[in-house]
Structure 1
Amino acid sequence: MQNNSRTPLYLQIQEYYKNQISSKKLSEHEKIPPEREIMEKFNVSRITVANALAELAKEGWIYRIPGKGSFVQEGILSLTNESTTSDLEGNTLLNVSPQIPIGRKMIGLIMPSVEDFFAIRLISGINKVLNQTDYYLVIMLSHNSKETEREAIRELLRMQVVGLFIFPIDAETYNDDILELKVRHFPFVLIDRYLPGVETNYVNSDNVYGAKLAVSHLWELGHRDIAICSDSALPTITVGDRIKGYMDVLKEKGAMINPSLILTDFRVDYGNLDDDHPLYRFIATRYASAYVTLNAKLGLHISRVAKRIGLDVPEDISILTFDDPSSGYDEFGVYTHISQSEQEMGQEAAKVLVELLDDRKNKTFLDYKKINLTPKLIVKETTGVFNELKK
């Protein structure tokens, strides 16, 4: 389908399905095509499709049934027919005032990227809480750069945000500007990270326990050569906690810790399946029968490498990811994964920050809030029983 370059792709998808519903080409309770089909139709990424469907659901055009898909909402036609011509005439850019809603105050969110569904679900959780308050969200990306993260903090302060959510970058040391925020008693909440030795408010997932769930599941399936993989060569607190959980389970099982199965000293070019890359070469040796990846994107990459080599998942190798690579809105979620409940993480972070801001208004200051959410193992199709004959 031809794309109108002037209109964002997710808006094009929204308008297309609104027209399909309004013209009765799609009737009440009729299923919307699956994400994969929409991706092909509009030549867009799955994240773009997920954004479009999320907005359609939020506006009441469709509803979702997990594992089954999206469907046209009952009664939506009668609601759309109530829109009058005068309503449409007023809904133009010429009539839109670029002002901030009166009384609402700005909160900033700084995060490395929004390239995966983890980020989308996290932001959704934050907005779910903030939409019920007098605050609204502004997002800036650090692109995993310490300098960009620093500039984002300073720019948001110049914009007079009243509070910050910070998803710190992967780095050996934290940003000095975060420490300065603490010294100045500026309200902020760290998300998905905490800073060792520094008292702050944070909402995190229990990464040690998450890794224990992952390794225990694979062990029960008969796997003994279990690799744990990160695409960051930096010794971050998240990676460190997950490797600790990995090693703790192996010690409990009486197994030796094999350093060659801890794969962290490399970076991945996700746009390239390089057969000279150390991870590619390692998978080809079939030294490990199962892989725990510390993010969903790396799990997808290993799956592509396995396919190119001629390995079947899960018959030849099992793959278990941290976070779900799929949107969670369609029937194509096949990866066994550790769910960190990222939407809940966003909601809890927003609740903590709103409470901090209320405390400042009332001139009362509570102790630091440190919330560790309990991750869950979601078993799908990418992990299977170890087969000695396939080794």
Structure 2
Amino acid sequence: MQDGRIPIYQVIQDYIKNQITTGIWKTGDQIPTEKELMEQFDVSRITVSNALTGLTKEGWLYRIQGKGSYVQEMKKQPAQSTAGSGYGLQLGDQQAESRRIIGLIMPNSSDFFSIRLSSGIRKALSQTGYNLVLMFSDNSTEREAVAIRELLGMGAAGLIIFPADAETYNEEILRLKLDRYPFVIIDRYLSGIDTHYIGSDGVEASRLAVNHLYELGHRDIAICSDVPLSTTSIEQRVSGYMKALKERGEMINPALMLTEFYVDHDETEIDQQHPLFRYVKNGLATAYIALNGYMAMHLYKIVRFLGLEVPKDLSIVTFDSLSPSKEFNFFTYIDQHEDEVGRIAVEQLLDLLQHGQLAGETKYRKIIMQPHLVPSLSTAPVALRNTNKTQ
């Protein structure tokens, strides 16, 4: 398929095969009914029927009309699973050997942060004997849940999940935790759910940005994002912004916290009625902290549209490098060390696969990386700013 995912009927087939090869379903056992499989995978009856028909032809199942489908006796019984979960791989089975995979689920790969993150994961896995299967959620919790189910159906040994920007998490992640399935969350932790997690210190990142701009003489510093404020990574960054201003003895101006709007980053035309456009036009801030690269580029386009210049008229600090090479970057940015995050996430997951998690164990490892600010050409002392505001 063009999006890199396998057909859903094959996902169902892989799931059933895995239940049989792990010994969860034994010879003669009746498998779930078509209706139950339809509900489990949220698919139509014809999809389930096609999956079961294929498995019957391959010799995995036999069907009794009016009663259901049953596990057929196999010529070779594979070794018992060592993964500690019904979704685990059979390390002694030839078919399972070909499925030594780690699943990675990401919102997208349209920015250099995501590219470097996935590259770090791929490099860390390259010498381990595991293959990486990458799926995208398109920043949708629904698609994220489908990706999880598909990877489990493929027999993935473990998952690394970069959650979608959303006010709620999908229940498939909670199910993974309840099933004690090995997985690691990266970048955005899930509020109220303890999991193995690795990400950057968002509070410290915003403090670095505010302090950098403050030392350049900026006092009217705005922070802006079009991601829901309830997202934990955004909450941290806004918290760090306020903390840094308080430490400097400054009052918090709610008008400079621009987090309640939407920006269509695919739109090429500048929306002159958009709140962010009016803020920049009216000169309400001398500097902006953009909480993602898309927002930084959008701000830059607004500034240029108004006939202004960065950093002469307005300074911008962004999260994450917008350049394929961090050595050549116009924007002052917060380096979250995404390559390192990816490497450590793999190490953390492999440790889970090797040692497992003891029954009743509730201690989860939460690794926080310290960010760094990399100054560049998009920030300058406020004294250089043109004091004539655009009318």
From 157, 160, 169, the counterpart of 1:162: 157
| Structure 1 residue 204 corresponds to structure 2 residue 216 | no
- Residue 362 of structure 1 and its aligned partner are, at CA, apart by 10
User: Match of 2:318?
Assistant: 321
Q: Are the counterparts in 2 of residues 316 and 387 from structure 1 also a CA contact under 8 Å?
A: no
User: Match of 1:128?
Assistant: 123
Q: Aligned partner of 1:288: which letter?
A: A
Q: Are the counterparts in 1 of residues 320 and 334 from structure 2 also a CA contact under 8 Å?
A: yes
| Structure 1 residue 340 corresponds to structure 2 residue 336 | yes
User: Match of 2:145?
Assistant: 150
Cα distance per residue 1:265-305 (max 9 Å; x no partner) = 11111223211111111111111000000011211111111
Q: Distance in 1 between matches of 2:330 and 2:356?
A: 45
Q: Are the counterparts in 1 of residues 141 and 164 from structure 2 also a CA contact under 8 Å?
A: yes
User: Match of 1:116?
Assistant: 111
From 281, 285, 300, the counterpart of 1:303: 300
Helix, strand or coil for the counterpart of 1:200?
coil
Q: Distance in 2 between matches of 1:340 and 1:102?
A: 35
User: Match of 1:226?
Assistant: 221
Q: Are the counterparts in 1 of residues 242 and 252 from structure 2 also a CA contact under 8 Å?
A: yes
Q: Distance in 2 between matches of 1:138 and 1:242?
A: 31
Distance 1:350 1:267, change over 3 A: same
- Residue 389 of structure 1 and its aligned partner are, at CA, apart by 6.1
Q: Are the counterparts in 2 of residues 359 and 365 from structure 1 also a CA contact under 8 Å?
A: no
Q: Distance in 1 between matches of 2:175 and 2:357?
A: 21
Helix, strand or coil for the counterpart of 1:250?
helix
| Structure 1 residue 368 corresponds to structure 2 residue 364 | yes
Distance 1:358 1:365, change over 3 A: farther
Q: Aligned partner of 1:123: which letter?
A: S
Helix, strand or coil for the counterpart of 2:277?
helix
User: Match of 2:286?
Assistant: 289
What is the number of residues matched between the two proteins?
Answer: 292
Q: Distance in 1 between matches of 2:356 and 2:230?
A: 36
- Residue 146 of structure 1 and its aligned partner are, at CA, apart by 1.3
Distance 1:225 1:102, change over 3 A: same
Q: Distance in 2 between matches of 1:361 and 1:260?
A: 47
Q: Distance in 1 between matches of 2:118 and 2:292?
A: 18
Q: Distance in 2 between matches of 1:245 and 1:368?
A: 24
Q: Are the counterparts in 2 of residues 293 and 320 from structure 1 also a CA contact under 8 Å?
A: yes
Q: Distance in 1 between matches of 2:209 and 2:134?
A: 32
From 373, 376, 382, the counterpart of 2:378: 382
1:352-363 alignment, distance < 5 Å: 352-360=348-356
Helix, strand or coil for the counterpart of 1:387?
helix
What RMSD over aligned residues (CA atoms) do the two structures have, in Å? 2.1
- Residue 193 of structure 1 and its aligned partner are, at CA, apart by 1.3
Helix, strand or coil for the counterpart of 2:382?
coil
Gaps of 5+ in 2: 1-93
Q: Distance in 1 between matches of 2:125 and 2:384?
A: 52
Q: Are the counterparts in 2 of residues 233 and 267 from structure 1 also a CA contact under 8 Å?
A: no
- Residue 197 of structure 1 and its aligned partner are, at CA, apart by 2.3
Q: Percent identity?
A: 48
- Residue 142 of structure 1 and its aligned partner are, at CA, apart by 0.6
Q: Distance in 1 between matches of 2:282 and 2:302?
A: 12
| Structure 1 residue 213 corresponds to structure 2 residue 208 | yes
| Structure 1 residue 264 corresponds to structure 2 residue 263 | no
1:176-195 alignment, distance < 5 Å: 176-195=171-190
Q: Are the counterparts in 2 of residues 339 and 377 from structure 1 also a CA contact under 8 Å?
A: yes
User: Match of 2:22?
Assistant: none
- Residue 132 of structure 1 and its aligned partner are, at CA, apart by 1.3
Distance 1:101 1:154, change over 3 A: closer
Q: Are the counterparts in 2 of residues 359 and 366 from structure 1 also a CA contact under 8 Å?
A: no
Cα distance per residue 1:1-44 (max 9 Å; x no partner) = xxxxxxxxxxxxxxxxxxxxxxxxxxxxxxxxxxxxxxxxxxxx
Q: Distance in 1 between matches of 2:145 and 2:97?
A: 29
- Residue 369 of structure 1 and its aligned partner are, at CA, apart by 1.5
Gaps of 5+ in 1: 1-98
Helix, strand or coil for the counterpart of 2:356?
helix
Q: Distance in 2 between matches of 1:324 and 1:191?
A: 18
Distance 1:329 1:320, change over 3 A: closer
- Residue 387 of structure 1 and its aligned partner are, at CA, apart by 2.4
Q: Are the counterparts in 1 of residues 167 and 228 from structure 2 also a CA contact under 8 Å?
A: no
Q: Aligned partner of 1:376: which letter?
A: H
- Residue 328 of structure 1 and its aligned partner are, at CA, apart by 1.1
- Residue 175 of structure 1 and its aligned partner are, at CA, apart by 1.4
Cα distance per residue 1:148-179 (max 9 Å; x no partner) = 11111111111111100111111112111111
Structure 1 runs (4+) greater than 2 angstroms displaced: 99-104, 360-367
Relative to the length of structure 1, the TM-score reads 0.71
Q: Are the counterparts in 1 of residues 104 and 161 from structure 2 also a CA contact under 8 Å?
A: yes
- Residue 121 of structure 1 and its aligned partner are, at CA, apart by 0.4
- Residue 233 of structure 1 and its aligned partner are, at CA, apart by 3.5
Helix, strand or coil for the counterpart of 1:128?
helix
Helix, strand or coil for the counterpart of 1:119?
helix
